[in-house]
Amino acid sequence: MSKADVLFVNMCKDILENGYSSEGQIVRAKWEDGTPAHTIKRFGVVNRYNLQEEFPALTLRPTAIKSAFDELLWIWQRKSNRISDLNSHIWDEWADEQGTIGKAYGYQLGKKYKFAQGVMDQVDNVIWQLKNTPYSRRILTNIFNFDDLTEMNLEPCAYSMTFNVTGNKLNAVLNQRSQDILAANNWNVVQYSILVHMMAQVCGFEAGEFVHVIADAHIYDRHVPVIKELIERPQFPAPTFSLNPEIKDFYQFTVDDIKIEDYQKNPQIKNIPIAV
């Protein structure tokens, strides 16, 4: 069975059984009908995924892996904040009159800084360090830029990646300040697992462990029945994942360069309410 499913089920049960409810508090998020969107949360959730063992896609319901990868490329490879550069519409509600999400996500990764080895952006710095100083403990990105927060249409949720090489394996930690578990958990897990595979391939390593740290892991009140249904579903073995081995340049990857095989999964859950 998929180990990602087991982690997800255990996390959800822990939130539902031991979480803290925001009922009675003033909350920012609302449902489309204007009702406050309350949550049950757990603070400081840490999930570890061994990418040597499996690709951590849920089988409890399908994850749109190629769409998730396309968003990752939009942020990390294209370093774009323009929604027209994205092949889905998931960012449309945060777009301004210029069709951008402001100085958020890809914009931050595309900003150039003066590093010891020259002027470059954060992504190029990670690649340079992994190729030239792979055992450094300073290989990371951070897009929570306080100078630009007021010009971001959405402050970043997943904001920092720290890369660490152990032997011939590339490991990484994703720090996330907040996560809607039903809507985004496996989406982000899949995205950043692929990123570890990409960085490992172009820098001469094997993908090792991906660690996901969530400060505020929450389930919205109207999602509770969906989560309860989801975690009782049958579980299947994880799918097989591979990257096109011919790609050695990070900026040459496309959505067509990932292959997902034997992805057995339960049906999608439709008409999930979205808190905004």
Q: Which residues are annotated as a binding site for dUMP?
A: 137-138, 177-180, 188, 218-220
Exposed (0-12), middle (13-18) or buried (19+): which is 201, by Cβ within 10 Å? buried
Distance CA 109, CA 71 (A): 14
Tell me the one-letter amino acid at 31: W
Give the phi and the psi of residue 187 in degrees, each rounded to 5. Answer: -55, -50
- The 3-class secondary structure across 169-215, one letter per residue, is EEEEEEEEEEEEHHHHHHHHHHHHHHHHHHHHHHHCCEEEEEEEEEE
230 Ramachandran zone, left/alpha/beta (phi>0; psi -120 to 50)? alpha
Whole-angstrom Cα distance, residue 151 to residue 154? 9
Pairing, β 140-142 against β 158-166: antiparallel
Residue indicated by tokens 């009675």: 24
> Which residues contribute to the annotated binding site?
137-138, 177-180, 188, 218-220, 275
Active site residue 12: no
Of the residues 157, 231, 243, 269, only one is catalytic, namely 157
Beta strand pairing call for 206-220 and 169-180: parallel
Half-sphere exposure of 73 (CA within 13 A, CB side): 20
Catalytic positions, please? 157
